[in-house]
Amino acid sequence: MEDKRKIEGEKYLRAQKKVEKEKEVYVHAVVFVFVMPIIIITNLKFVPRFHYFWFTLFGWGMGVFLHWLVVIGFKSSLFGEDWEARKIKEYMDKDHF
C-alpha cells in the first residue's frame, strides 16, 4: 500500500511540474501579445523609415511558437474553470513523461 502511495505521489509531482511548464508557455504568449504593440508603435514613431520591429516580431514569435510546440504540442486547450486540477489529474492518469 505504501508503494502505491509513493507512486501516486511521484505521478502527482511530475504532473504538477508539467502543468507549471504549460503555465509558463501561456505567460510567455501573453507577454508577447502585450509587448509587441509597444515595440511596433515605438519603432513607427521614432524610426518610421526602417521597420526593425519585423525582426523582433518574427524572432520572438518563433520563440513563443517553439516554446508552445515543445511543451504543449497540438493538444492544447484554453484555460477554464479548475484547469490546473484537471491537467494534473490528466497527467497523473497518463503518466507518460
**What is the model's pLDDT at position 86?**
81
The domains of the chain are located at 2-94
What number is the average pLDDT over the span 11-25? 92
Average pLDDT over the chain reads 87
Q: Running DSSP on this structure, what letter comes out for residue 11?
A: H
Strands (E), the chain: none
Q: What is the pLDDT of residues 78-96, one digit of tens each?
A: 666 677 788 888 888 887 6
Q: Which three cell numbers stand for residue 34?
A: 502585450
Q: What is the pLDDT of residues 24-48, one digit of tens each?
A: 999 999 999 999 999 999 999 999 9
